[in-house]
């Protein structure tokens, strides 16, 4: 029997205060969702915020979506993650990713050279520190000989925001799975799921998590919602890694992978993701009116009962 797909909520970013995030995560927990994910962009620090959330909201899985690796040394990130995980009583999943060249080089002045190599070396340091808190590794770009002493719980789950085949294989080799954003159903079915599942099988690794996050809106005005999605998520059609996924899907922009329509249409499109191996769905709600926001959340809640 196929395991039921978990349904989670991705933070709205509408409130850049810790109190606002706590309230949003608490509501997600009351609504019965499996997970709550906090992004790391240019607002609140996700791990610091989730440390507070973890003390205030007692049961739901908490995840980062995602921490860019270049600005943080893997030893530092391991310490932060293990600290947040302890605050949350072992409920943290650390989502990490490369970030984007325009940010890494243009904003921080760091080199984005050989990103796949960088992630492989990063994981070679991060994962031992996460799981047994000791590492000795010397790479071309990153070297660490160190040990951490963080009290129980002493490890947390890790997933990689992997889009292309090389990153998906790294995610399978080192971590519990992958987390995608603005990756459409055909790309998930033909690229993401088969690549990471086959890589894990070949390595004798456990079946990976495939966490798919997509914009969603239940509405009577599909054209207006699609136009709003095009405006709200426009940057993801311009960043090269997401652009590659949209091109693979054969669509013009993020609005074309957003799940928009009636309650039954949205329900069916989300539920269908489970058929080809998506283990977790993360709803990014973008209702434009109170009715749309309410109806979108109600469909997500109904998916918990399917």
- Scanning the structure block, which residue is given the tokens 């294989």? 169
38-41-42-46 Cα dihedral, nearest 10 degrees: 30
Q: Tell me the angle at which helices 115-131 and 165-174 cross, rounded to the nearest 10 degrees.
A: 20
More confident residue, 41 or 226: 226
Asked if residue 1 belongs to a domain, the reply is: no
Q: What is the mean pLDDT of residues 195-220?
A: 98
Contacts 24+ apart (CB under 8 A), 136-145: 141/114, 141/117, 142/73, 142/74, 142/118, 144/73, 144/74, 144/75
* Count of CB atoms situated within 10 Å of the CB of 300: 25
Instruction: Confirm if 100 and 241 have CB atoms less than 8 A apart.
Output: yes
- With helix as H, strand as E and coil as C, how does the chain read? CCCCCEEEEECCCCCCCHHHHHHHHHHHHHCCCCEEEECCCCCCCHHHHHHHHHHHCCCCEEEECCEECCCCCHHHHHHHHHHHHHHCCCCEEEEEECCCHHHHCCCCCCCCCCHHHHHHHHHHHHHHHHHCCEEEEECCCCEEEEECCCCCCCCCEEEECCCCHHHHHHHHHHCCEEEEECCCHHHHHHHHHHHHHHHHHHCCCCCCEEEEEEEEEECCCHHHHHHHHHHHCHHHHCCHHHHHHHHHHCCCCHHHCCEEECHHHHHHHHHHHHHHCCCEEEEEECCCCHHHHHHHHHHHHHHCCC
Tell me, what's the pLDDT at 216?
97
pLDDT at 41 over 90: no
Tell me, what's the pLDDT at 14?
56
More confident residue, 145 or 133: 145
Instruction: Confirm if 30 and 57 have CB atoms less than 8 A apart.
Output: no
- Distance separating alpha carbons of residues 88 and 52, to the nearest angstrom: 8
Tell me, what's the pLDDT at 13?
60
Mean pLDDT of the chain: 94
Instruction: Confirm if 253 and 246 have CB atoms less than 8 A apart.
Output: yes
pLDDT at 167 over 80: yes
Asked if residue 193 belongs to a domain, the reply is: yes
Tell which residue, 267, 217, 213, 219, has the closest CA to residue 236. 213
pLDDT digits (tens, 9 = 90+) for 251-271: 999 999 999 999 999 999 999
Asked if residue 157 belongs to a domain, the reply is: yes
Tell which residue, 105, 110, 97, has the closest CA to residue 167. 97
Residues above pLDDT 70, as percent of the chain = 98
Of the pLDDT bands very low, low, confident and very high (cuts 50, 70, 90), residue 146 is very high
Tell me, what's the pLDDT at 1?
43
Tell which residue, 87, 198, 79, 205, has the closest CA to residue 135. 79
Q: What is the CATH number of the domain that holds 268?
A: 3.20.20.30
Of the pLDDT bands very low, low, confident and very high (cuts 50, 70, 90), residue 293 is very high
Asked if residue 152 belongs to a domain, the reply is: yes
Of the pLDDT bands very low, low, confident and very high (cuts 50, 70, 90), residue 15 is low
Query: Which positions ≥6 away from 214 have C-beta within 8 Å?
Result: 181, 182, 183, 184, 257, 258, 259, 281, 282, 283, 284
Asked if residue 234 belongs to a domain, the reply is: yes
pLDDT at 285 over 50: yes
Asked if residue 141 belongs to a domain, the reply is: yes
Tell which residue, 89, 10, 13, 93, has the closest CA to residue 57. 89
pTM attached to this predicted model: 0.95
How many domains are contained in the chain? 1
Structural domain harbouring 112:
6-303
Asked if residue 98 belongs to a domain, the reply is: yes
Asked if residue 119 belongs to a domain, the reply is: yes
């Amino acid at each position: 029997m196929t395991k039921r797909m978990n349904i989670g909520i991705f933070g709205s970013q509408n409130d850049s205060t810790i109190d606002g995030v706590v309230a949003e995560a608490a509501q997600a927990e009351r609504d019965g969702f499996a997970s709550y994910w906090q992004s790391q962009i240019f607002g609140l620090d996700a791990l610091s915020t989730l440390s507070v959330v973890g003390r205030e909201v007692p049961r739901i899985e908490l995840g980062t979506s995602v921490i860019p690796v270049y600005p943080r040394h893997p030893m530092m990130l391991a310490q932060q993650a293990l600290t947040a995980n302890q605050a949350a009583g072992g409920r943290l999943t650390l989502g990490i990713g490369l970030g984007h060249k325009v940010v890494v080089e243009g904003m921080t002045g760091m080199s984005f050279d050989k990103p796949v190599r960088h992630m492989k070396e990063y994981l070679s340091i991060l994962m031992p520190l996460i799981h047994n808190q000791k590492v000795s590794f010397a790479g071309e770009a990153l070297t660490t000989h160190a040990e951490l002493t963080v009290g129980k719980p002493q490890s947390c789950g890790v997933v990689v925001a992997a889009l292309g085949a090389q990153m998906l294989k790294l995610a399978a080799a080192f971590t519990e799975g992958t987390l995608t954003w603005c990756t459409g159903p055909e790309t998930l079915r033909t690229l993401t799921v088969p690549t990471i599942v086959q890589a894990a099988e070949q390595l004798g690794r456990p079946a990976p998590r495939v966490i798919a996050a997509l914009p969603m809106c239940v509405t009577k005005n599909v054209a207006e919602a699609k136009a709003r999605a095009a405006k709200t998520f426009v940057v993801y059609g311009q960043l090269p890694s997401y652009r590659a996924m949209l091109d693979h899907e054969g669509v013009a922009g993020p609005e074309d992978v957003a799940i928009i329509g009636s309650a039954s249409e949205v329900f069916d499109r989300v539920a269908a993701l489970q058929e080809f191996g998506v283990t977790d769905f993360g709803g990014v709600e973008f209702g434009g009116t109170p009715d749309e926001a309410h109806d979108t959340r109600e469909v997500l809640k109904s998916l918990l009962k399917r």
